[in-house]
Structure 1
């Protein structure tokens, strides 16, 4: 597969990047926990591969961003080791009622994976796209043919239909085109990053939480520049930006690159340094643009096991439409002005205001948010993976027994799930997965015969 033209340009531009920044862990709880050599800061601030140079050329790159206009779908990444998780994702998505097409970006395969991709996935309107190398979330979003993308990690299950996120007039997507979801920790972005990004104001540590990269909603028409700046951060991530974004904090990697790209471009627009053209916002010209970082913090669900052991299973993330409703209701109740809209100096009239609500504490202050906690949309299985191809592996954590040797459910008693979602999500996932792994044509694969037998045994003892 040949890289898209803008990736070739980016590779040439970035090939002269300076050596990696030196960094260190710091036991103190201060914001500046990195040691970066002055010449490395200068390299990122000036020169052909600098942050400013890349931002200046974003309109050119954005014009080359490929997608099919007015298309919407789900994108995920997987390989041989995680394809079982993708099967669970696809099955759960369809049980949620969603009919959004799904594109699965694969970096590795096997005969059984090929067979599922060719013979089974089309029944679920899911397509496998084979790539030569391991591609991260950022490139999967870029490579997808969809304009409007819901990106999900392979271990993320949509238990509530995500389709309405993209409905006409649905907020916050209609007014922003970008939705991110929070992680558990406060932001620890180094002040050096804001210096490199253009001498931007350094936000307070408590202004917002970190974001996670396992669930992202993108309109590539409105956010081509945001997406490509995030790609720049990821391209130079291990050597430069990943350490600056977390200072060796929890989850160092691509998690902060998406929202930071949006924050930086908005700040540069506010300074008049970056003026976004609209000609390439096909067909998003004149449409509102901004970003929404979900305000409701995630919560964890787990399973109690023998000898007092508790095993984390998944993180619960709220429906972003419910989050928006809760924020608007709190603002209305407090009789304050709506979320900040900024009329940026020097912008063309056809460019709409940017809805910016980028912080939890700084934006909302003491407002009390009253979310409908039953409106959980995603189970992000960061604990035990929902990969039934590993059900015969005792170390996978999928199978557990109580003191009497009886099999346990993955998610414990289903009462709250049935109440909130109107169905036994876990039971249906097992039921649908058995239909996949126990297809007659899968019997040619020895390991899948074992998977089928084990799943049928557990299902009959636990779910029937």
Structure 2
């Protein structure tokens, strides 16, 4: 991709010449009420020394100058169509496949691009045989990003940037879509006008005051949401937001040493999650932050209650509710099933499926009645039907599952113990 070839050189030439940022201590994880839409207040400084700030400011200013000199509407000639982007590979293939199946159950026909890091994560039987039947394909990031050492959170912005789509729904491998994206996400407000939709996290924002100095602002803007962001799912129009995405990618390439601690100061989930809103804020481009607070689902293990996933809500419903139609009740749009992930091989081996008191099989997302109220269906049962189906079908196909003894039998045992009589 010529676009990447050009910007790869820009990223290299604007690498910060600064010492790694260190923290005096990590920011506290302070929860925020789901209905708290009050404005953000500045978090206290927790950086250990500020010697790197001036060097970061110089490099950031240089990168933004390159952005400002770049022609508008370039993305119109580079990207086309609408699709879903997922970062998979290794242990992330299993849950990604569940998410793709659920996407199809929503009625969506959108193509899916699954990005893996390099050839070591590329699995031919999955990528050549299985995924194409689901309208999905595999791409290797290493084909594009030679010369950059990136991993984990850093891969997400690169996958979005390097995908062929103009309009992107990005999903973490463990974020499961519940609504049809074509009609419920891309064709409605707020995406139609802003081109960038970001969801909230459970916690207050904790960015360093020094971040605003780095990006050339005198102070924190007054209209930022109080909560931090959660990037398990994201909507972006690359025609409107190519520069936003390029800047977010800059923050991610240089994230671990600089921008991740600047934007989170060690709080829970530190990584890429704040980089997208930060880039839009710095460039003063339009975006929409969903105001309906994230909710949790969980299980009672017998001696404690554990969170199992995050429910994120429809941006269209949220937009209507906060723009005059106050009676609108936002519907669940995603369940980010992150603890545990819907990886069939891990689920049967890591103890999350059983009560710690009597070893009886557990529901992970709460009672059936509560799921019917929240989702309109027994969502966990629907997902487990797919876990059993794919776990049995792919037990000897997915490399990561190949040494999981009796995977199919053990998945069916859990199904029988929890769902068979429902």
Select 2:384's aligned residue among 430, 445, 450.
Answer: 430
- Give 1:391-402 correspondences, 5 Å limit: 391-395=347-351, 397=352, 399-401=353-355
CA positional deviation for 1:184: 1.6
Residue 90 of structure 2 contacts residue 121 of structure 2 at CA under 8 Å; is this kept in 1?
Answer: no
- Give 1:235-384 correspondences, 5 Å limit: 235-266=253-284, 290-306=286-302, 308-329=303-324, 372-373=329-330, 375-384=331-340
CA distance in structure 1 between the partners assigned to 2:288 and 2:121 by the alignment: 41
Relative to the length of structure 1, the TM-score reads 0.76
CA positional deviation for 1:290: 1.2
Q: Does 1:127 align with 2:81?
A: no
CA distance in structure 2 between the partners assigned to 1:12 and 1:293 by the alignment: 31
CA distance in structure 1 between the partners assigned to 2:234 and 2:178 by the alignment: 16
CA distance in structure 1 between the partners assigned to 2:271 and 2:357 by the alignment: 40
Residue 66 of structure 1 contacts residue 142 of structure 1 at CA under 8 Å; is this kept in 2?
Answer: no
Select 1:41's aligned residue among 53, 75, 97.
Answer: 53
Residue 25 of structure 1 contacts residue 248 of structure 1 at CA under 8 Å; is this kept in 2?
Answer: yes
CA positional deviation for 1:296: 1.0
CA positional deviation for 1:180: 0.4
CA RMSD of aligned residues (A): 3.1
Report the more deviating stretch, 421-430 or 201-210: 201-210
Aligned length: 395
SS of equivalent residue, structure 2 residue 389: helix
CA positional deviation for 1:377: 0.6
Q: Does 1:149 align with 2:168?
A: yes
Q: What are the Cα deviations for residues 239-275 of structure 1, in whole angstroms up to 9, with x where unaligned? A: 2221111222232211111001111111xxxxxxxxx
Residue 400 of structure 1 contacts residue 407 of structure 1 at CA under 8 Å; is this kept in 2?
Answer: yes
Residue ranges of structure 1 left out of the alignment (5+ in a row): 267-288, 331-368
Residue 162 of structure 1 contacts residue 377 of structure 1 at CA under 8 Å; is this kept in 2?
Answer: no
Residue 31 of structure 1 contacts residue 205 of structure 1 at CA under 8 Å; is this kept in 2?
Answer: no
SS of equivalent residue, structure 2 residue 409: helix
Relative to the length of structure 2, the TM-score reads 0.83
CA positional deviation for 1:21: 3.5
- Give 1:22-41 correspondences, 5 Å limit: 22-25=22-25, 31-38=44-51, 40-41=52-53
Q: What are the Cα deviations for residues 79-112 of structure 1, in whole angstroms up to 9, with x where unaligned? A: 2122111111112222222222111111267799
Residue 159 of structure 1 contacts residue 425 of structure 1 at CA under 8 Å; is this kept in 2?
Answer: no
Residue 207 of structure 2 contacts residue 263 of structure 2 at CA under 8 Å; is this kept in 1?
Answer: yes
SS of equivalent residue, structure 1 residue 4: helix
CA positional deviation for 1:160: 2.5
CA shift in 2, pair 1:68/1:51, >3 Å? closer
Residue 252 of structure 2 contacts residue 259 of structure 2 at CA under 8 Å; is this kept in 1?
Answer: yes
Q: What are the Cα deviations for residues 99-143 of structure 1, in whole angstroms up to 9, with x where unaligned? A: 221111112677994312222211211112233374511101011
Q: Does 1:161 align with 2:180?
A: yes
SS of equivalent residue, structure 2 residue 333: strand
CA distance in structure 1 between the partners assigned to 2:65 and 2:264 by the alignment: 26
CA distance in structure 2 between the partners assigned to 1:110 and 1:458 by the alignment: 32
Partner of 1:208: 226
Instruction: State the structure with more CA Rg.
Output: 1
Residue 11 of structure 2 contacts residue 63 of structure 2 at CA under 8 Å; is this kept in 1?
Answer: no
Select 1:74's aligned residue among 84, 88, 96.
Answer: 84
